[in-house]
Structure 1
Amino acid sequence: MTEIPGLDGVLGVEHVELTADRVVVRFTIGAQHLQPFGIPHGGTYCTVHESTASLAGQIWLGTQGIVVGTNNSTDFIRQAKVGDTITTTATPIHRGRTQQLWHLESVGPDGKLVAQGQVRLANLDQPVPPEMVAQFEGR
């Protein structure tokens, strides 16, 4: 676990780079990431992809509203193993007035692609909660 709130904290995600044009996170595969047959659960990659894209989209949108995921498409390329550190990078494909589309790549310690996908976000015209603003000020 990390001090990051929510599911990312439970999964042990660490923020490496946080900018409006690129967000990089990493986590190390452990028992909490496995499905019943002892291999990493694909839902881990889906979750990390969506939260990383949402974080990137929110940083880009700033205080103009909040972002919510509307679609997550993740492809599983190769299997990682317990102890592997996975690095996930989000980069924008499209950022518009009402929606955003982000590309995600998750690579293993050897730099080879483990999973890749796209996450579509809706930009909602709602106030950003003050606790969210405080969490990312100064980053």
Structure 2
Amino acid sequence: MSVDNEELIKDTFGRGFDAALGLELTDVTADLVAGTVDMSAKHHQPFGIVHGGVYCALAEGTASIGGFTWLQASGIGGTAVGVNNNTDFLRSISTGTVAVEATPVHRGRRQQLWRVSMTDADGRLVATSQVRLQNIELPEGVEPPVPATGA
């Protein structure tokens, strides 16, 4: 399933903590979630560089969106929540646009594993993550935010 309608992407996934971080999604499919964040002082730790938690949160957010999108496309349904996030910080930056890309490593009926890369404007890797997701049923009364389709 591909979510190519920009308004649908913004209304469905571009809210909550991801929006507070400034994540702008550019591509949402069952096989790829991509976006950008313009890093600024609001993302800093006390010493003027981007806080590592920002990268962890971006990884969790994009992997979860990809996991959910795949569950809808595969017909399994439900949603995916993070159960492990392993993020390595490779290069410190203070400002600039960071591109985020999440791709699946493994997708199963119960769990998924996604790899997330975050690069600076020069294409240099600043952080990389692996996020394990648990597939769960949607809470009672909650409907999927995008129409479910077959794979």
TM-score (norm 1): 0.89
User: Which string of whole-angstrom CA distances, capped at 9 and with x for unpartnered residues, describes residues 108-136 of structure 1?
Assistant: 00001000010000001335823x41xx4
| Count of aligned pairs between the two proteins | 133
Does the aligned pair in 1 maintain the 2:44–2:94 contact within 8 Å? no
- 5+ long unaligned stretches in structure 1: none
User: Which string of whole-angstrom CA distances, capped at 9 and with x for unpartnered residues, describes residues 26-79 of structure 1?
Assistant: 101011100011111000000000000000000000171111100000000001
1:86 equivalent to 2:107? Answer no
**1:38 matched to which residue of 2?**
48
**1:120 matched to which residue of 2?**
132
**1:11 matched to which residue of 2?**
21
* Distance (whole Å) between structure 2 residues aligned to residue 26 and residue 129 of structure 1: 28
Does the aligned pair in 1 maintain the 2:48–2:94 contact within 8 Å? no
Percent identity over the alignment? Answer: 45
* Distance (whole Å) between structure 2 residues aligned to residue 7 and residue 87 of structure 1: 17
* Distance (whole Å) between structure 1 residues aligned to residue 83 and residue 69 of structure 2: 17
* Distance (whole Å) between structure 2 residues aligned to residue 81 and residue 32 of structure 1: 10
1:73 equivalent to 2:83? Answer no
* Distance (whole Å) between structure 2 residues aligned to residue 118 and residue 46 of structure 1: 10
Shift of 1:86: 0.3
- 5+ long unaligned stretches in structure 2: 1-9
- Root-mean-square deviation (CA), in Å? 1.9
Aligned residue for 2:18, secondary structure, equals helix
Aligned residue for 2:64, secondary structure, equals helix
**2:31 matched to which residue of 1?**
21
* Runs of 4+ residues deviating >3 angstroms: none
1:16 corresponds to which letter in structure 2? T
1:95 equivalent to 2:112? Answer no
* Distance (whole Å) between structure 2 residues aligned to residue 80 and residue 36 of structure 1: 13
TM-score (norm 2): 0.82
* Distance (whole Å) between structure 2 residues aligned to residue 36 and residue 65 of structure 1: 39
